[in-house]
Amino acid sequence: MLASDTARLVLAALLLLVGPVPLLAKSENEALLLTYIQAWNSGDLESLDSIVTEDFVRHGNYGSADSRDDLKKRIEGFRNFYRDLHIEVQDSFASDTKGAMRWRFKGGYGETSFEIDAINFSMYHFIDGRISQEWVAGNATDFWTSMGYTIMPPGTRMVPPPIEVPVGHELLEKPAIDGRKLTAYSEQSGLQASSRAGQVEIATDVDCLLALDRRQVGWLGADQSVTLSLERGKYFLQASSRGGSLFFSEELEIRKGKKTPVEIKAPGRVIIHPCNRTAEDLDSGLMWQMTDNGDDISLPAAEAYCRDSNQGGYTDWRLPSIFELEKLYAPETGESKRFKTIPGITLTGCCPWTTTPHGDFHWTFVFYNGLRYIKYQSIGKASRALCVRNTWESPQIVE
């Protein structure tokens, strides 16, 4: 259905609601509606004293108000936020008690380069020659398309604009495991092995740092294996993740001429450290703080929050990119929580900040519906900071 068809249907429905319109009353109250819109355009807030009642109520998401004084504050806020705010009345009608209007809303979107041009509808109730209530139905289609969103047919979701990633904001991939130290150790152990030696064959499904008797012997990559020749005796084998999470410990007994198989498996997707409140995601190789900062803050404040954090003894915390953040979405975890994240991560707000820009905006991710979203840092409600770090930057053993 075209927008013009929708508008005609809405006006027709409003006409049925209002019923027969006395000509004189229509003229007087329509003039009242025009004066009301003029106050929005001019900023003459004192004129509202003779236009709306003291207990005036405005319903809807577009500047709701619960008194005349509150309405003045809302209008002042709109005028301060939207550049070159202008409202144009396209259709209106009124009876002695009810009225309706179709109006066009134009203005620059805050400090951004976006220009909003949207058709909206209002219904009114009059008491003693003043407006007592207003119901606003905004046209979200025009609002979102002006910021690059694609509106799909009814029953489907909005499609956000594609992510155009500036240089330096790409998803960082885990560097390949450097197994040279382990290879050298393996060759050395074989050369030095006596006739009393046996072997241990180690296989793993996860990147891990191996240690024998608490001495690091090298990295072993996922789905790889290595065979070590060791003299007969007992050894203590350990494996830790890239982020230093110790998740495997086993005592081995090497026997002369025998091969001992050892299979090291990942303990799950996430390794949680309750003491330092961190969670290591083995899939991405990223370590996250287990929860966000707990309060809505601006983007610069969120960046500073992570930069200044030393949680867990680490000092390289940062805000994630949109690609890193959305990897935390897990709608089928089985956990009954509003914001669907992987185990170990708990959010107090739906949409943490990211460093990935989109024009004047930044991307975020909505964790209750799994959608990307663009958000301007100074508009409306701020977001929260969930900090992340690359585990391969400074791996340490965490007991």
Tell me how far apart the alpha carbons of residues 125 and 141 are, in angstroms, rounded to a whole number.
26
Q: How confident is the model at residue 4 (pLDDT cuts 50, 70, 90)?
A: very low
Architecture of domain 270-390: Roll (3.10)
Residue-wise pLDDT for 63-78, tens only, equals 789 999 999 999 998 8
The token pair that represents 58 in the structure block: 């405005």
Tell me how far apart the alpha carbons of residues 159 and 153 are, in angstroms, rounded to a whole number.
11
Q: How confident is the model at residue 164 (pLDDT cuts 50, 70, 90)?
A: confident
Tell me how far apart the alpha carbons of residues 165 and 368 are, in angstroms, rounded to a whole number.
24
Domain-wise residue ranges, the chain: 3-145, 180-264, 270-390
Q: How confident is the model at residue 110 (pLDDT cuts 50, 70, 90)?
A: confident
* Residue 395: pLDDT over 50: no
DSSP 3-state assignment of 273? strand
Residue-wise pLDDT for 288-309, tens only, equals 999 999 999 988 999 999 999 9
Beta-strand runs (E) in the chain:
52-59, 83-94, 98-108, 115-127, 130-137, 197-204, 208-212, 215-220, 224-231, 233-240, 246-254, 259-264, 270-273, 278-281, 286-289, 357-358, 361-366, 371-375, 388-390
* Residue 17: pLDDT over 60: no
Average pLDDT of the residues in 349-366: 86
Other C-beta atoms closer than 10 Å to the C-beta of 34 total 12
Mind spelling out the 3-state secondary structure of 280-294?
EECCCCEEEECECCC
Q: Roughly what angle, to the nearest 10 degrees, separates helices 68-81 and 23-42?
A: 50
How are strands ordered across the β-sheet holding 233-240?
215-220, 208-212, 233-240, 246-254
pTM of the full structure: 0.66
The pLDDT of residue 231: 87
CATH hierarchy code of domain 3-145: 3.10.450.50
Residues 6+ apart with CB under 8 A from 305: 293, 297, 385, 387
Name the CATH topology of 180-264: Immunoglobulin-like (2.60.40)
